[in-house]
Amino acid sequence: MWRDPTPPEWLALIAGLKPALRLLRDPRRARAEAAAAARRGFAVALHDLGDRTIVYVARTPAAARALHALEGQALPGPTPRDRFDPAPHRALGAALGFPPCCVDAFVARIARGADVTATGARAHEDFIAASEAAARSARLDARANVFAVDRTSGWLSHVPCAFDCAPSLAYADRVIAAVVAHDAAGAAVLRARLAAAVAIAPDGTRAAPAAAPADACVLAFGDPA
């Protein structure tokens, strides 16, 4: 039986560190998580994608509806659009509390195609996002790891523009404090998992660096703690 969870993004919302959540789930879990949000007193809106459902969780019904509307503007429609419009993507990122620099990096990726590299090659979006974030980073800080090898949820709920992005790390520190206050032992386990090195292959497969192909993006994170 699925239980009402308190992963980092939920604790961030409850603590007032984050204005809203966007959760991509299978339909059954989406309904359960929407019910969990309602029990906590949050407003919810759902966007059905067929085999997946997006759950928007906000503090007011108006805010949840606004997220739903922005997503509708951002998602590809049944017919191709004449040009890419970054406005709804930027507005959605702002409404979810993501740093503007990270939203800009995301918009740049999807403007050319989420699975298209800067050179025009094709690869999984995780490989592209991780490679580009690593290239912008002077250091790989585990607090900004959203690519854990076991797909553990990280402190961030957005892909950082760089793994040493100052606004992302400042936000991560606030989330870490909230998680430690809720479950110090669980926070320690999560910190250790996020500090583990990971390699992301061009097809999106994640593995330990020793088991990865030669063309994988290797992220050797450092834990400041």
**What are 45-83's pLDDT values in tens digits?**
999 999 999 999 999 999 999 999 999 898 875 555 568
Please indicate, yes or no, whether the overall pTM of this predicted structure exceeds 0.85. Answer: yes
Instruction: For the chain, give the mean pLDDT.
Output: 92
Which one, of 145, 157, 151, lies nearest residue 21 by Cα? 157
Distance between CA 171 and CA 138 in Å, rounded?
19
Place of tokens 């992005």: 165
Residue 4 has pLDDT above 70, yes or no: no
The least confident of 78-82, 84-88, 186-190 is 78-82
Q: Under the phi-then-psi rule, with left for phi > 0, alpha for psi from -120 to 50, and beta for the rest, what region is 104?
A: alpha
The percent of residues in the chain predicted with pLDDT above 70, rounded, is: 94
**Residue-level pLDDT at 1:** 29
Sorted by sequence, the CB contacts under 8 Å of residue 36 that are 6+ apart come out as: 4, 5
Distance between CA 10 and CA 16 in Å, rounded?
10
